Amino acid sequence: MALPGRRHARIAPVAIALLLLAAVFASLCVGEYPMSFWHSARLVLHLVWPPSLAGYDLKEVTVVEIIRPPRVLLAILAGAALGMSGAALQGMFRNPLVSPDIVGVTSGAAFGSAVGISMDWPAGVIMALGFCGGMIAMACTFSLAKMARGASDGLIVILSGVFIGAFFMALLGLVEFYGNPFRISHWMIGSFENANWTRVWTIGIPTLIGGVILMTLRWRVNLLSLSDLDAESLGIHVGLLRWIIIAVVSAIVAAQVAVSGVIALVGLVVPHGARMFVGPDHRRLLPASALIGALLVLVLDDLNRSSWYARLPVGTLSAIVGTPVVCILLWKSRGKGWTRT
């Protein structure tokens, strides 16, 4: 794949951000009560500069100003969290087929969150349990790969993640069986149906803080993309930096899983799309992955809300869209890491 030019790599994030902004306004128009773009735009403007609302139905005001904004923000934050987490992990492990789903972070976070959900504990406790589960799963994956003397080998890490992820999914099945099966199974398929401002803050604070940390470390992730010996020769403490990234990614993914369930394959597919636009430099790749992830999940949720016949959850839609892409990526890479992507 040809790398994008320097000018194109600089312009692309701005274009993606503008497209995301347009998608936000468009998302306020779709749903069970559709309305025109300018109609909803005036209602959004009313939040900043309140003119007269004469001629507007109370139901329209309620939908655009109260019901839809938290759902739109929740989808944006979830997509951004998964996008930049996937990009950070792929750079850290030097393998384009690594993602939070693959290395067990999502399964561990889902197990921890499911324990809290089955006990009807508050959202903060659920997120904390999800963080612990994600950290434990990632630590188990990394430790298993290290014992196999392949901590820097992407294939060994992926295999370790598959084994650890399967184990935590089995534990999740036990929690679902003995806990609250209906609530946990509905949460597992990934949805923004119960979006509210509490959930927005629950995911927003860890995602923004974690995002700032990852953006601060993004040039160091470039060095991790080299061999461990080369990175250490340039003054990078490889082990410490990896554990910092693992902790940050676990916190971000745990927050996402706690509020919206499992949204599959976004963290794997999005960084590849971002790499096509801005290249492999993580100084641009991480912000672009966050923007594209936010845009993708928002569009998937819009498809969900605009469907009159079947309300497919976002997690199901992301798996349907992402699986063919993953198969193509696997065929193109053929086990050669970065060389063919």
CB under 8 Å to 251, separation ≥6 — which residues? 131, 134, 206, 210
The CB density around residue 53, as the number of other CB atoms within 10 Å, is 14
CA distances from 152 to 69, 93, 101, 246 (A): 42, 6, 18, 14
pTM above 0.85, yes or no: yes
CB 293 within 8 A of CB 266: yes
Alpha-carbon distance 273 to 200, whole Å?
Answer: 26
Confidence of residue 339 (pLDDT cuts 50, 70, 90): very low
CA distances from 18 to 21, 24, 44, 222, 262 (A): 5, 10, 17, 27, 27
Q: Which fold has domain 69-340?
A: ABC transporter involved in vitamin B12 uptake, BtuC (1.10.3470)
Confidence of residue 8 (pLDDT cuts 50, 70, 90): low
CB 104 within 8 A of CB 141: yes
Mean pLDDT of the chain: 82
Confidence of residue 341 (pLDDT cuts 50, 70, 90): very low
Q: pLDDT by residue (tens digit) across 282-294?
A: 889 999 999 999 9
What are the residue ranges spanned by the domains of the chain? 69-340
**Crossing angle between the packed helical segments 181-188 and 105-118, to the nearest 10 degrees:** 150
Q: pLDDT by residue (tens digit) across 151-190?
A: 556 678 888 888 999 999 999 989 988 877 777 877 778 8
The CB density around residue 237, as the number of other CB atoms within 10 Å, is 12
CB under 8 Å to 165, separation ≥6 — which residues? 101, 102, 103, 104, 106, 107, 108, 137, 141
CB 177 within 8 A of CB 184: no
Residue in this structure with the two tokens 């369930």, named with its chain if needed: 261
CA distances from 232 to 152, 202, 206, 229, 246 (A): 14, 36, 29, 5, 18
